[in-house]
A and B are shown apart, each in its own frame.
Chain A
Amino acid sequence: MAKSATRAAKGPSHLVNRASRATILLTVAAAALWVVAVHRADYNKMGALGLITVLGPAYFLGLALVAVAFGIELLRTRLRQGLLLTLTVLLAVYLFGTASAVEPLAALASSWVHAGYVQYILVHGHPLNNFAAEFSWPGGFSLGAVIVAFAGQHDATTLLRWFPLAIELSYLAPVLVIARSSGAGRRASWLAVGIFYSANWIYQDYFSPQAINYLFYLVMLAAVLAAWRPRRFDRPSTGHIAWRTRLADSRRVLTLRRTAGEDTTTDWTSREVLGLLGMLTLLSLAVAISHQLTPYALVVALAVCLVTRRLGRPELIVVVALFAAAWLSLGASNYWVGHLNEIFGSVGAIGGAFGSNVASRVTGSSSHLMIVEVRILLTAALFGLAGIGALRRAADSRTLEGLAIAPFFLLFFQNYGGEGLLRVVLFALPAASLLAASAVMPRRTGNIRAVVPTFRVGSYARPVLAVASAAVLLAFSLTTTLVRGGNDAYETFTAGEGSAVAFVYAHALQGESIGMIASYLPLYERSLGAVKVYVISDGSASTPGEYFRILVAHPASWLVLSKSQEAWGEIVAGYPPGWQDALERRLVRHGYHVVAAWPTATVLRYVTPR
């Protein structure tokens, strides 16, 4: 009777604490299940829905165990930071390491293109002028060349395959700092880190300047949020706050005092702040010469931090803007001379931006449509949850709300070739994750009171919140697994396709051209500028018949047909199965000869008829 009385007195929190003794076992089991899952995955059986079609029950069970363990650990009386960190890393391995482990070569043709840019700088010591827009911002590629040379590698292709996991793990430190400095609360901060990874379907972590510059973006944001805190303003500690009072307080945003950074405070010494400003200045210079969009995202984010009392020095914003504009004007003139419309043509065309970013992507086969629609739903769910969190949480400043919304203003100026919305969601992701976590575990005290009154879940709050946290993480993780790998049927490459490309590079002479139907080949990492690459579907042609006519009228010296292009044609373009074989048979009768073949790729050579 004494034991049961003691147990009853401990209450439902005791349930969570007892369960958390098992979380170490759950973590170990989840890690083992991942190893089993990747060993059993057969890449050759990949279907139209991509990576998820080759993942067995072990993967999903392991992911569920990670989510459950995370939820239990999160609601322990005393947080075990080490175990939460381990679970976060394991979550990242599941979401970003599985594709690298299962797929034979690095995915995404763009990563191979960027390896080619790095290779060119490694060999020649400078970028190739007038070749591509990205080469006008060569900072990231130069950094890649330095790393490749340092590592004693021949080229950057060895970095490609595991780069997504490596760069996502590098995001962990700044994201943790952002979360802890955001004022969201300890438990909500950890949940937010989990949501940050589990909702990151955006796939901008392949070998690219965006991935590296996103790290710089997170580091700058983390440094600013860690250094400065908002000064508290006078507010009654209890009682209802009228909407008029809230509106009156929000007008302080536009005062000179606020924009001068005087509404912030810091515990750092002046030396530390100066050192920080110096390093952030260097970092913003690196960002300005490495990426077209990130500097402007930084300007917007820092401006939000300033007006929400989280940045003490407004000069930093001006310096970032100056560097970005100066590089665009001076260093990237190769890009915009004669192409100003590409930079400024979409200014104000917000409808067009949404059209090219959303509407134009909702095409293709039913499986592809489903993937695109689920991406839209996942993003809407994240921001919906963030909206609830914004209403439920008390705070010392509305920085998170500003950081979640402000990146959308970038779309007003640039649709970024139809990828603007993707990048906007990426930049808003840390803040949106924190707000989404606040929907589950809102902070109850702060200078700014919650809009929606708090409600108590009752004495079973901890178990309920543990279940809610695990459910949110699992739902996002499963959806991200589906949509992130949803294009893998045509965006990943077999060893045969890699061999076909290597064959062509070994035999193509300077001045010759390498043709492909769609840009889904691991091409470009060698012979940049020496051999022309010819993507037939990039022009006005849109059917296999039109491709045939173009290839006969304007032959490519070499033509590579492959499994990934075949899959693209069926899934996205809606061509009938076997369209590529039919095209090959027609081409063989019109001057093209098969010179090499693998089960998943064929190389044809054009010989001028006598």
Chain B
Amino acid sequence: MTAPWLATLGSFATAPAVFVTMVAACSLLALRAWSATTGLELTRQVVLLLDGAIATLLVLFFALVVVRFITVG
């Protein structure tokens, strides 16, 4: 029987949520690569914000994938 907290989390770990998180992370990664490759100077704050957002999305993505494995699998 699935634990209640996992069932609640599982209701968020739908296929669209995984997909949207992936697309968001890829978009920010593309932005990061583009700015670095074209030599666009970003302030330290912007870089930290960008890296932080990417890291958050990656953690969220992999958490959703794992929860989806547990609840659907």
Stretch at the interface among A132-140, A334-342, A528-536: A334-342
Q: Which residues of B contact A261 (CB under 8 A)?
A: 36
B1-38 residues with Cβ-Cβ distance < 8 A to A are 15, 18-19, 22, 25-26, 29-30, 32-34, 36-38
What's the nearest-Cβ distance from chain A to residue B18, in Å?
5
- CB of A270 within 8 A of chain B? yes
Q: Which residues of A contact B26 (CB under 8 A)?
A: 319, 322
Question: Of A315, A319, A329, which one neighbours B69 at CB under 8 angstroms?
Answer: A329
- CB of A325 within 8 A of chain B? yes
Give the A interface residue count (CB, 8 A): 24
Question: Of A274, A323, A328, A337, which one neighbours B34 at CB under 8 angstroms?
Answer: A274
Secondary structure of the B side of the interface?
A: helix
In the complex the two chains form, what is the Cα distance from A325 to B69 in whole Å?
11
Question: Of A313, A326, A336, A339, which one neighbours B36 at CB under 8 angstroms?
Answer: A313
Contact A274 B61 (CB under 8 A): no
In the complex the two chains form, what is the Cα distance from A337 to B70 in whole Å?
10
Contact A322 B22 (CB under 8 A): yes
Known: A273-B37, A338-B73. A325 touches B65 (CB 8 A): yes
Contact A270 B18 (CB under 8 A): no
Secondary structure of the A side of the interface?
A: helix
* Interchain pairs with CB closer than 8 A, number: 60
Contact with B along A405-431 (1 / 0, CB 8 A): 000000000000000000000000000
Q: Which residues of A contact B18 (CB under 8 A)?
A: 326, 329-330
Q: Which residues of B contact A340 (CB under 8 A)?
A: 69, 73
Contact B38 A326 (CB under 8 A): no
Contact A329 B65 (CB under 8 A): yes
Contact B38 A274 (CB under 8 A): yes
Question: Of B15, B61, B68, which one neighbours A322 at CB under 8 angstroms?
Answer: B61
Q: Which residues of B contact A329 (CB under 8 A)?
A: 15, 18, 64-65, 68-69
Give the B interface residue count (CB, 8 A): 25
Contact B69 A322 (CB under 8 A): no
In the complex the two chains form, what is the Cα distance from A338 to B68 in whole Å?
12
A176-191 residues with Cβ-Cβ distance < 8 A to B are none
Contact B32 A315 (CB under 8 A): yes
Contact A274 B65 (CB under 8 A): no
Known: A277-B37, A333-B72. A325 touches B29 (CB 8 A): no
Closest to B66 in A: A329
In the complex the two chains form, what is the Cα distance from A560 to B18 in whole Å?
46
Closest to A330 in B: B15
Q: Which residues of B contact A270 (CB under 8 A)?
A: 37-39
What's the nearest-Cβ distance from chain A to residue B4, in Å?
21
Q: Which residues of A contact B64 (CB under 8 A)?
A: 329
- CB of A24 within 8 A of chain B? no
- CB of A502 within 8 A of chain B? no
Known: A274-B38, A313-B37, A340-B73. A319 touches B29 (CB 8 A): yes
Contact B22 A326 (CB under 8 A): yes
In the complex the two chains form, what is the Cα distance from A315 to B55 in whole Å?
12
- CB of B58 within 8 A of chain A? yes
In the complex the two chains form, what is the Cα distance from A432 to B29 in whole Å?
32
- CB of A588 within 8 A of chain B? no
Contact with B along A292-329 (1 / 0, CB 8 A): 00000000000000000000010110110011011011
In the complex the two chains form, what is the Cα distance from A328 to B29 in whole Å?
21
Q: Which residues of A contact B15 (CB under 8 A)?
A: 329-330, 333
5 A-B pairs whose Cβ atoms sit less than 8 Å apart in the complex: A273-B37, A315-B30, A319-B26, A325-B65, A333-B72
Beyond A313-B33, A322-B61, 14 additional pairs, beta carbon < 8 A: A270-B38, A270-B39, A277-B33, A315-B29, A315-B33, A316-B33, A319-B29, A322-B25, A326-B18, A328-B65, A329-B15, A329-B64, A333-B72, A340-B69
